[in-house]
A and B are shown apart, each in its own frame.
Chain A
Amino acid sequence: MSQKIYVSADSSALSLGAERVAVAIAKEAQQRGVEIEIIRNGSRGMYWLEPLVEVGTPAGRVAYGPVQANVVKSLFDSNFTEGGTHPLSLGLTEELPYFKRQTRLTFARVGITDPISLQDYLDNEGYKGLMNALRMDQANIVKAVTDSGLRGRGGAAFPTGIKWNTVLNTPSDQKYIICNADEGDSGTFSDRMIMEGDPFVLIEGMTIAGIAVGATQGYIYLRVEYPHAHKTLNAAIEKAYQAGYLGADIQGSGKHFDLEVRLGAGAYVCGEETSLMESLEGKRGLVRFKPPLPAIKGLFGKPTVVNNVISLASVPIILDKGGDYYRDFGLGRSRGTLPLQLAGNIKHPGLVEVAFGMTLRELLYDFGGGSATGRPIRAVQVGGPLGAYMPESQFDTPLDYEAFAAIWTVLGHGGVVVFDDTVNMAEMARYSMEFCAVESCGKCTPCRIGSTRGVEVIEDIINGRELVKNVALLRDLCNTLLNGSLCALGGMTPYPVLSALNHFSEDFGIDENAEAA
């Protein structure tokens, strides 16, 4: 039997040279006459160890990393295909503390299976949720999701079951399921990892959603920046059709669900659900007024479920193991697990799926290992470009929607971007305003024009011009944005700006006396 070697085809692994490593391993094996089978899996999410090479052994998978093509010969010299030791040996992958300490529910198969092998998916508990759903009535499927306590992982944390229930109870000749795969938040990559590492779990989740609410057409709105995810999704969708998991008569149930991937075109605001629907309809991505809710009048005016990738990819396990199983993880009103993404200046960047409730400090130090540069961590932006900057004094906050909201911060899509003490927070605030100006859809004046004004005001502050007046002006502008914006792009840009100003006022040239004045 040929030895199985795993080299990830995840785009971050590729960005570090995984393709060259896979090619080098294949070539060397051939030259030495060693029989191997290379499997291009998703990433385990331990990106400081990528390109990671794993070898299947009777004791489990043994890991080596980070591997570059020029060490492949020496790996063979160490007999790595039998799990031999080498300076890059990491031992059993699943015993690595970073991995072992996680609770992988949504990411159960990512990094383990061959992403586009339907057989691998089925062999690893795939499609069990759908098979259960096919035996249930629609209201009970929705109830399982409601009971699980699952809240939208795209940012707003709205209860998924309640949204589905509205669509279920809105009669229509046509309904839609949209997967929001725009993943525009900087510092986030969990959607990408699912789509590249376990696309079938998303397809299954969307199929269950379609059956639950009576929608026969699904769209995955994917950002154009993800060409690898695009290829993987299309390959998996084709296989699902061939095997009768998509199409007119799903597994002989008479249920119908079609699925198609549509590409975005580099507009951050198109991650906002109504802008996304405009875009899918072929228009400019202008945000719509609500009501009507998309669940009642959504895509092409029809009732539509819009859910994030992670929300939908969490549905199969809920239907497989039950709402209670999922609900038993987490605390308070934050149930289940959250796939956090550690990025920026951090020693151990990667994906950390844990139950809600761990503190930010544990995440940063126990998982992240502190900053990459070895300098003190000064600021952490949680929740994407519209999330607040948190200073050290807030690191003991538990990762929980309500605990974050209570201190005017957000968990959002779970992105955590770390900065060391060389960061200039006034510059970061300026950047947030600039980002808002670049990405504004233009519908609201404060967002369209106020953001450009905001950039100028912060530049004046940075240059020390009329500090007191300009700081007051900036606060005013932020208030206008907070109150006069149709969506969170304008409405939440004040989070990073004001948190930077409030927690790191020294970077704005403000000393205590000026603040008091």
Chain B
Amino acid sequence: MTERDNMHSIVQEITERFKAKPGPLLPVLHAVQDALGFVPAECVPDIASALNLSRAEVHGVISFYHYFRETPPGKHTIHLCRAESCQAMGAKQLEVHVKSRLGIDYHETTADGSFSLEPVYCLGNCACSPAMQIDHDIYGRITAETFDEIVNELGESA
């Protein structure tokens, strides 16, 4: 099976699973992104026809929500909190460090494909600011040093 056939079958399985639910589009997009890491443009026609929507509607929804991405992410996605509580605890200086350590800006992926960097506006970890999330793991009271440690560890296992 080619990668493309594989993708079509994954999307078909997902739309079948959620089709009967009221308001199935977001659950479908989440499942697709969980399975593929992003929502490839080639999936849009499949999703649209399975859910009886126009392609423009599906595309409009994908682009409205910050969380859905249309390009493949790096091996790990770092969500760095930019919001007020984290700013009060040095998030801006941390942001400068993170960007220079990774050599990328927000919405970019490192050249070796290890890390993508995304801004996030609060992770609910404000009592442990500054905070970030890497994939499903959450980190608090991060310093430049602890950031480097975490990233080195993840980078080695990459």
Name A residues whose Cβ lies closer than 8 Å to a Cβ of B.
11-12, 14-16, 47, 50, 183-189, 191-192, 224-228, 262-268, 279-285, 300, 341-345, 349-351, 372, 381, 385, 415, 417-420, 423, 428, 431, 435, 438-439
Query: Are B66 and A417 in contact, CB atoms less than 8 angstroms apart?
Result: no
Query: Are B127 and A12 in contact, CB atoms less than 8 angstroms apart?
Result: yes
B32 to chain A, nearest CB (A): 12
Determine, out of B8-16, B94-102, B132-140, the stretch whose residues face the partner at the interface.
B132-140
Residues on A with beta carbons closer than 8 Å to the beta carbon of B57:
283
Residues on A with beta carbons closer than 8 Å to the beta carbon of B124:
11-12, 183, 188-189, 191-192, 225-226
Among A15, A184, A191, A385, the residue within 8 A (CB) of B138 is A15
Given contacts A263-B26, A283-B25, 15 further A-B contacts (CB under 8 A): A12-B128, A12-B138, A16-B128, A16-B140, A183-B124, A187-B122, A225-B124, A265-B26, A285-B64, A343-B88, A372-B89, A417-B84, A417-B85, A419-B88, A420-B88
Residue of B nearest to A191 (CB): B124
Query: Which 9 residue pairs of A and B lie closest in terms of their CB atoms, listed nearest first?
Result: A282-B25, A186-B83, A266-B67, A265-B65, A15-B140, A344-B88, A343-B126, A47-B127, A349-B127
A435 to B29, CA, bound (A): 25
Task: Using A14-B138, A187-B84, A417-B85 as known contacts, say yes or no to A282 and B61 having CB atoms under 8 A apart.
Answer: yes
Query: Are A345 and B125 in contact, CB atoms less than 8 angstroms apart?
Result: no
A342 to B137, CA, bound (A): 23
Among A267, A300, A415, the residue within 8 A (CB) of B126 is A415
Residues of B110-158 whose CB lies within 8 A of A: 120-129, 131, 133, 136-141
Task: Using A282-B24, A283-B61 as known contacts, say yes or no to A349 and B126 having CB atoms under 8 A apart.
Answer: yes
Residues on A with beta carbons closer than 8 Å to the beta carbon of B60:
284
Query: Are A344 and B126 in contact, CB atoms less than 8 angstroms apart?
Result: yes
Query: Are B67 and A265 in contact, CB atoms less than 8 angstroms apart?
Result: yes
17 cross-chain CB contacts under 8 A: A12-B128, A187-B126, A188-B122, A263-B26, A263-B30, A282-B23, A282-B26, A282-B51, A282-B53, A285-B64, A343-B127, A349-B126, A349-B129, A417-B85, A435-B83, A435-B121, A439-B121
Query: Are A11 and B121 in contact, CB atoms less than 8 angstroms apart?
Result: no
A326 to chain B, nearest CB (A): 26
Residues on A with beta carbons closer than 8 Å to the beta carbon of B86:
186
Query: Are B139 and A343 in contact, CB atoms less than 8 angstroms apart?
Result: no
Query: Are B129 and A385 in contact, CB atoms less than 8 angstroms apart?
Result: no
Among B27, B61, B139, the residue within 8 A (CB) of A284 is B61
Say whether chain B's binding surface is mostly helix, strand, loop, or mixed: mixed
A189 to B51, CA, bound (A): 35
A350 to B26, CA, bound (A): 33
Binary contact track B35-75/A, C-beta < 8 Å → 1, others 0: 00000000000000001010001001100111110000000
Query: Are B84 and A385 in contact, CB atoms less than 8 angstroms apart?
Result: yes
Task: Using A189-B126, A265-B65, A343-B126 as known contacts, say yes or no to A431 and B84 having CB atoms under 8 A apart.
Answer: yes
Query: Are A186 and B27 in contact, CB atoms less than 8 angstroms apart?
Result: no
A212 to B125, CA, bound (A): 34
Among B29, B128, B137, B138, the residue within 8 A (CB) of A349 is B128
Query: Are A341 and B127 in contact, CB atoms less than 8 angstroms apart?
Result: yes
B27 to chain A, nearest CB (A): 7
Residues on B with beta carbons closer than 8 Å to the beta carbon of A419:
88
Query: Are B138 and A267 in contact, CB atoms less than 8 angstroms apart?
Result: no
A340 to chain B, nearest CB (A): 12
Residue of B nearest to A228 (CB): B138
Query: Are A15 and B26 in contact, CB atoms less than 8 angstroms apart?
Result: no
A432 to chain B, nearest CB (A): 9
Task: Using A265-B30, A266-B65 as known contacts, say yes or no to A417 and B140 having CB atoms under 8 A apart.
Answer: no
Among A187, A264, A265, the residue within 8 A (CB) of B85 is A187
Query: Are B120 and A225 in contact, CB atoms less than 8 angstroms apart?
Result: yes
Residues on B with beta carbons closer than 8 Å to the beta carbon of A184:
121-122
A15 to B138, CA, bound (A): 5
A498 to B91, CA, bound (A): 23
A229 to B53, CA, bound (A): 31
Residues on B with beta carbons closer than 8 Å to the beta carbon of A192:
124
Query: Are B136 and A185 in contact, CB atoms less than 8 angstroms apart?
Result: no
Residues on B with beta carbons closer than 8 Å to the beta carbon of A300:
22-23
Query: Are A268 and B67 in contact, CB atoms less than 8 angstroms apart?
Result: no
Residues on B with beta carbons closer than 8 Å to the beta carbon of A47:
127-128
Among A11, A284, A381, the residue within 8 A (CB) of B84 is A381
Task: Using A186-B83, A227-B136, A265-B67 as known contacts, say yes or no to A350 and B127 having CB atoms under 8 A apart.
Answer: yes
Among A262, A281, A343, the residue within 8 A (CB) of B129 is A343
Query: Are A385 and B136 in contact, CB atoms less than 8 angstroms apart?
Result: no
Residues on B with beta carbons closer than 8 Å to the beta carbon of A280:
23, 26
Residue of B nearest to A231 (CB): B136
B102 to chain A, nearest CB (A): 20
B5 to chain A, nearest CB (A): 27
Residues on B with beta carbons closer than 8 Å to the beta carbon of A183:
124
Residue of A nearest to B29 (CB): A265
A439 to B120, CA, bound (A): 11
Query: Are B141 and A16 in contact, CB atoms less than 8 angstroms apart?
Result: yes
A345 to B125, CA, bound (A): 13
A243 to B30, CA, bound (A): 29
Query: Are B121 and A12 in contact, CB atoms less than 8 angstroms apart?
Result: no
Query: Are B87 and A431 in contact, CB atoms less than 8 angstroms apart?
Result: yes
Residues on B with beta carbons closer than 8 Å to the beta carbon of A282:
23-26, 51, 53, 61
B91 to chain A, nearest CB (A): 10
Residues on A with beta carbons closer than 8 Å to the beta carbon of B141:
15-16
A96 to B86, CA, bound (A): 27
Interface centre among B26, B64, B127, B141 (most CB of A within 10 A): B127
Query: Are B127 and A266 in contact, CB atoms less than 8 angstroms apart?
Result: no
A342 to B128, CA, bound (A): 11
A87 to B80, CA, bound (A): 34
A11 to B128, CA, bound (A): 10
Interface centre among B88, B124, B136 (most CB of A within 10 A): B124
Residue of B nearest to A196 (CB): B124
Residues on A with beta carbons closer than 8 Å to the beta carbon of B127:
12, 47, 189, 341-343, 349-351
Query: Are A341 and B64 in contact, CB atoms less than 8 angstroms apart?
Result: no
